[in-house]
Amino acid sequence: VCELREWRPVTRRKCTDAPWLLLFFLFWAGLMFIAGYAVMAGAAERLVLGYDSFGNICGRKNIPVKGAPLSGQDMTNKKYVFFLNSCSLEMQSLKISAVSLCVSSCPQEQLNSLEDLQSFARNNGSCLCVYNLNVSSYTLNPKAAELCPALPVPPSKSFPLFNRCVPQNPECYSKYASVLISMVNEMDVFHRILSGILAGRDTVIGLGFLALAFSFILVLAFRFIRTLLVHTLIALVVFGLLFVSGVLWWLYYDYKNDPSTELETEKENVKFLLGYAVFSTIVTVVLLSLILVLRKRLQFTVQLFRIVGKIIGRIPFLLFQPLWTFLILNVFWVFWVAVLLSLGTAGTAQTTSGGQVEYRALSGISYMAWYHFVGLIWTSEFILACQQMTIAGAVVTCYFNRNKNSPPPHPVLSSVSVLVCYHLGTAVKGSFLITILRIPRLVLLYLYNILKQKESACAKCLFKCCFCWFWCQESCLRYFNQHAYTTTAINGTNFYTSAKDVVFILAKNSDKLASISCFGDFILFLGKVFVVCFTVFGGLMAFNYHRELQAWVVPLLLAGFFAYLMSHSFLSVFEVTADAMFVCFAVDMETNDGSAEKPYFVDQELLTFVSQSNKLTEGQKHRSMRAFQDNEDGTELQPMV
């Protein structure tokens, strides 16, 4: 039997789950080692800017490479990669074997002789021969035929993604494209994803600010909630779900019937679009069904948000808490992406015959990438857990205050100080448990991609069931984590003790609070869906105009993930405030009886709201039971014929 402890905000606290905080510090020491290693060994600019055969990155200043006399040049004004033999390229070990140079512009017209090359260099300032050959020596040096491009040089244009000069001659273009397609198709998925992120980085950043704007608008709407706003939100969510699903199916049909789809990245776009369309359709059907079923509780939802808004009105700085969380998350995500890009291009420069430079990948990079990815999940969840504990601590401080008209001074700052001084270990442990449940899902996804060629219906069904099971486990754990953080804010106990206590107190009051809390969380979830839907729609429109060699499905998925985290970060103010308020209410009802010796802390408005909601729920149950009994008594069983 669980012994009921004294539920009150304690004044004397001690550090909780300190070993977990030490473990988190050690984990971050590993992340910093990987970051330092990636910065020293990697060069993300090589991936997006391109580089020549002598170790120079186009479009920037370079440092010399030992044994390569033509390295270390200033290529600030030379932004394009030009191949000396663009009409007969060959690929060896995922690299194009032809000599490449950094040039300031691609030749727009065909050049038929060395005199044409010399004239082009003098008129445009773009030298198409090897760097150590002077422009004036193009027609005099006997080795000019080896150091200059094969004649005739076809007209070419700069390619937007990899900054390559692509020949426009039909025959040369066909050979060039076939080699480039083979190279991209055989690239490691990890590098393809990096290329997609780099290519769509501006769009992803823009979509992030769009999600920020939508989230902030919803926060203000929920703060001053009215019935009309709830109806408007539901209408926008329904419109967004139907519209995004329709656009996804239309894009899938358009891509599938496009005869120019040759690259593996484009084929992956088609597959992912189909997955997005199916998933979006399923989510649309489920949410529309839930909206139809729960429409009668709309008025109670408005009243609930009015009460939550009243609490936030007493602690106005709670509305600014998501801004700090958003800034911290953005700083961490920028750091994480920068390290990932550097890690993906980590390699050692080795000179070959003729003074050329090759970059060879370092061993162990894939293991570092997985460690780095775990760091993304764990740290993001830790930051969100700290926000939840901060909000819960402020709500607890104000709830257990006798004078409601005079709240405690600086409850948010007080909650932050208590968190930093005593309960960071509890936030680490809760976020680690979420991470542990996510890792098997990632492993299953990796195995599913490996085994999907087998076309086994049984294996596919098994994988999908496992995905669903882990997702349900994660959702339940996230729900109990939030309540455990509130209990830690009340009692100052560690994560395990807080989780045990809150399960006990919620089980005794589940009939009073479950339906109220669930429907409020559902409306907030609709708000998150609204943000994600319109952010993804903006991404679809933006990425649809950049189809060439882009795995844009990955940046779009990343933008959707960031949009959900942003909306969750902002709307969790209301979610955590409501859940913390109900936990405090359950504790208040359990430990007090309303007498002069043990008066309630709850204000009259919240008590009236809970009572009315319970009467509505009991009335619905009574009507359902009476209808069942009437049907049971009045229906005559007929014999089977």
In 3-state terms, what secondary structure has residue 586?
A: helix
Res. 256 pLDDT band, cuts 50 70 90: confident
The answer, yes or no, to whether residue 516 has pLDDT greater than 70, is no
Q: Are 374 and 382 in contact (CB under 8 A)?
A: no
pLDDT value at residue 548: 47
pLDDT value at residue 176: 66
pLDDT digits (tens, 9 = 90+) for 314-346: 888 887 888 888 889 889 988 988 888 788 777
The answer, yes or no, to whether residue 186 has pLDDT greater than 50, is no
More confident residue, 275 or 340: 340
> How high is the mean pLDDT of the chain?
76
More confident residue, 526 or 545: 526
Rounded to an integer, what distance in angstroms lies between the CA atom of residue 329 and that of residue 349?
34
The answer, yes or no, to whether residue 260 has pLDDT greater than 60, is no
The answer, yes or no, to whether residue 550 has pLDDT greater than 60, is no
Lowest mean pLDDT, pick from 106-120, 167-181, 577-591: 167-181
The answer, yes or no, to whether residue 32 has pLDDT greater than 90, is yes
Rounded to an integer, what distance in angstroms lies between the CA atom of residue 477 and that of residue 473?
6
Q: Are 58 and 80 in contact (CB under 8 A)?
A: yes
More confident residue, 11 or 244: 244
The answer, yes or no, to whether residue 304 has pLDDT greater than 90, is no
Lowest mean pLDDT, pick from 30-34, 352-356, 371-375, 410-414: 352-356
| Helix axis angle, 298-314 to 365-399, nearest 10° | 80
Q: Tokens for 347, please give them.
A: 């390699």
pLDDT digits (tens, 9 = 90+) for 364-377: 777 888 899 899 99
Lowest mean pLDDT, pick from 58-62, 93-97, 211-215, 527-531: 93-97
More confident residue, 526 or 120: 120
pLDDT digits (tens, 9 = 90+) for 486-511: 989 888 889 998 888 888 887 877 66
The answer, yes or no, to whether residue 41 has pLDDT greater than 80, is no
Res. 432 pLDDT band, cuts 50 70 90: very high
More confident residue, 534 or 105: 105
Res. 624 pLDDT band, cuts 50 70 90: very low
More confident residue, 337 or 191: 337
Res. 379 pLDDT band, cuts 50 70 90: very high
Most confident among 274-278, 555-559, 571-575 (mean pLDDT): 571-575
Q: Tokens for 118, please give them.
A: 């010399």
pLDDT value at residue 195: 54
Rounded to an integer, what distance in angstroms lies between the CA atom of residue 161 and that of residue 200?
10
How many CB atoms sit inside 10 A of residue 374's CB? 17
More confident residue, 11 or 323: 323
State the DSSP string of 199-268.
HTHHHHHHHHHHHHHHHHHHHHHHHT--HHHHHHHHHHHHHHHHHHHHHHHHHHHHHHT-TT--SHHHHH
333 exposure class (CB count in 10 Å sphere: 0-12, 13-18, 19+): middle
Most confident among 21-35, 74-88, 576-590 (mean pLDDT): 21-35
pLDDT value at residue 31: 93
pLDDT digits (tens, 9 = 90+) for 89-110: 665 554 666 788 999 988 888 8
Residue 200: C-alpha distances to residues 59, 118, 126, 218, 549 (Å): 19, 37, 29, 27, 11
